[in-house]
Amino acid sequence: MRRLLICLLLIPLPAFAQRITGQATVIDGDTIEIGKSRIRLHGIDAPESGQTCQDANRRVYRCGQKAAFALADWIGRTTVSCKPRDTDRYGRVVAVCYARGKDMNLWMVQQGWAIAYQEYSQDYVPDELTARRVRAGMWTGTFVPPSEWRKGRR
């Protein structure tokens, strides 16, 4: 029994893992990479890289690409620090990340380039409602929620 307890204590738990800090590379609007760690931003869902949306004038644009560029531009060369919360089914660390002293996940929702991923968290719902009200980012026009868009692509 004691041996089992010791073994269990040696298993790394993502929720208690050390922060992951460094230069980030943006994969898409809700995924970054720091070193060899691929990190999914907790509680948000951004449009996929190939996803399109319509702006206020009904013109189609690549909102997934625009979301990724917005995040990359905002981060710049700033050091990013991520606090792991979980691991997803693809083996990515799920984390709340910070850049410029601000919650990056929150920033993406406030800018309208990501929505609150309510299936997994309610953390950013009020911020999504505000972004929608002020018509930030994707909210200036129309879009299919990223999770629905993914289902349609499969």
Within-domain flag for 79: yes
Alpha-carbon separation of residue 139 from 80, 112, 117, 152 (angstroms)? 27, 6, 16, 21
- Whether 120 and 43 have beta carbons less than 8 Å apart is answered as yes
Confidence of residue 153 (pLDDT cuts 50, 70, 90): low
Phi, psi torsion values for 39, nearest 5 degrees: -125, 125
Within-domain flag for 128: yes
Within-domain flag for 37: yes
Residue 64: Cβ-neighbour burial (10 angstroms; 0-12, 13-18, 19+): buried
pLDDT reported for residue 4: 41
- Whether 49 and 68 have beta carbons less than 8 Å apart is answered as yes
pLDDT reported for residue 17: 66
Within-domain flag for 147: no
Has residue 133 got a pLDDT over 80? Answer: yes
Within-domain flag for 93: yes
Tell which residue, 118, 26, 116, has the closest CA to residue 74.
Answer: 26
Mean predicted confidence (pLDDT) in 69-91: 96
pLDDT reported for residue 7: 42
At 13-50, the pLDDT tens digits run 444 569 999 999 999 999 999 999 999 999 999 999 99
Q: Which domain holds residue 67?
A: 11-139
* Domain count within the chain: 1
Within-domain flag for 94: yes
pLDDT reported for residue 10: 46
Has residue 139 got a pLDDT over 80? Answer: yes
Within-domain flag for 71: yes
Within-domain flag for 23: yes
The CATH number covering residue 90 comes to 2.40.50.90
Which stretch of DSSP H or E encloses residue 3? helix 2-10
Distance, CA of 41 to CA of 150 (rounded, Å): 17
